Amino acid sequence: MVRRFFTPLAASLVLLTGSLASSTLLESSATASGPLLQSATIGSYHGALVDSTHHSIYLLTSEVGGHVRCSGACLSHWPPVLVKNSVMSVSVGAGVSGHVGFLHRPGAEKQVTFNGYPLYWFAGDSAPGQDHGVGISAFGGTWLLVHAGAHTSGATPFAAAMMSTTLQAAKVGKSTLLVNSSGRTLYLLSSEKGAKIKCAGGCLNFWPPLLVADSVTHVSVGMGVMGKVGFVARGATMKQVTVNGYPVYTYAGDTKAGATTGEGVKALGGVWYVVNAAATSAPKTPITTISSTPTTTTNGY
């Protein structure tokens, strides 16, 4: 069943972007009672870099060496971690071992860098401990969490958890949904049957693809996952997991494991549906109606 949607996600992302940026400028200019950059466990990532409020921090792999590619409209989805130009150092907590530096941005602020990578938040993370931005491909690279204990730029992108991606089955009402290793619901776009990619560019801010490194040839599956797992190329170094020929995604509007608020969204010549973990053929893979009704539905683009 296709539902109608309201409360544009784009508007909430802009509001969140502003609150994050303001928080950082205030924090960095004050005498902090705790570290500004810390190490924490985010999902299956142990030792990920977070800020003092435990919001996840990201890097774009193609920005290694401080070569900025995210600017203009990109910054509304990926707010940079900024400090005032007068700030000369940033406090760090235990487990943060990399080199902290700065990169000048237009105006009175400069961006914090880590082992040469400019640092960002993701506007789709609405609460501490979320990692909705992991794996989004853009600007010749991929958005990943930051390894707080890394001493070199090569070890800084935190891709370890993506190498062991696990597909699992979860019961919601009478349906058996496909979820990732963090328990987040996986979706397909009906018009992408046969791995015909239609979700690209800005779409990926709302529908992060389930990505693995190009070198990965196998994805572990749990009991109850019956479909054929494959891959489709996404950029030069990553590929997207497919199930029964459908590329699979998470949804930025799902704020917790088991949420299914993306079900039924119309876009790009098709409809976003939850993936049936037990399906063994393409026609049975979309779950067109699920038993649980989301309390909030959004239309992001």
pLDDT digits (tens, 9 = 90+) for 89-105: 899 998 999 999 999 98
Per-chain mean pLDDT for the chain: 80
Output the CA–CA distances (angstroms, integers) from residue 201 to 205, 264, 284, in the order listed.
Answer: 8, 21, 28
The answer to whether 210 and 241 have CB atoms below 8 angstroms apart is yes
* Residue-level pLDDT at 44: 67
Mean pLDDT of 24-47: 65
Of all helices (H) and strands (E), which one includes residue 16?
helix 9-29
Other beta carbons within 10 angstroms of residue 180's beta carbon come to: 19
Mean pLDDT of 31-38: 65
The more confidently predicted of residues 298 and 28 is: 28
Segment among 161-165, 209-213, 286-290 with least mean pLDDT: 161-165
* Residue-level pLDDT at 105: 86
Rounded to whole angstroms, the Cα distance separating 282 from 184 reads: 21
* Residue-level pLDDT at 107: 80
Which sign does the torsion angle of CA 149, 147, 17, 274 carry?
negative
Other beta carbons within 10 angstroms of residue 87's beta carbon come to: 16
Mean pLDDT of 271-287: 95
Rounded to whole angstroms, the Cα distance separating 140 from 137 reads: 7
* Residue-level pLDDT at 17: 39
Q: Label residue 5 by pLDDT band (50, 70, 90).
A: very low
pTM of the predicted protein model: 0.54
Residue 41, pLDDT above cutoff 60: yes
Tell me the β-bridge partners of 188: 273
The answer to whether 289 and 1 have CB atoms below 8 angstroms apart is yes
Q: Label residue 141 by pLDDT band (50, 70, 90).
A: confident
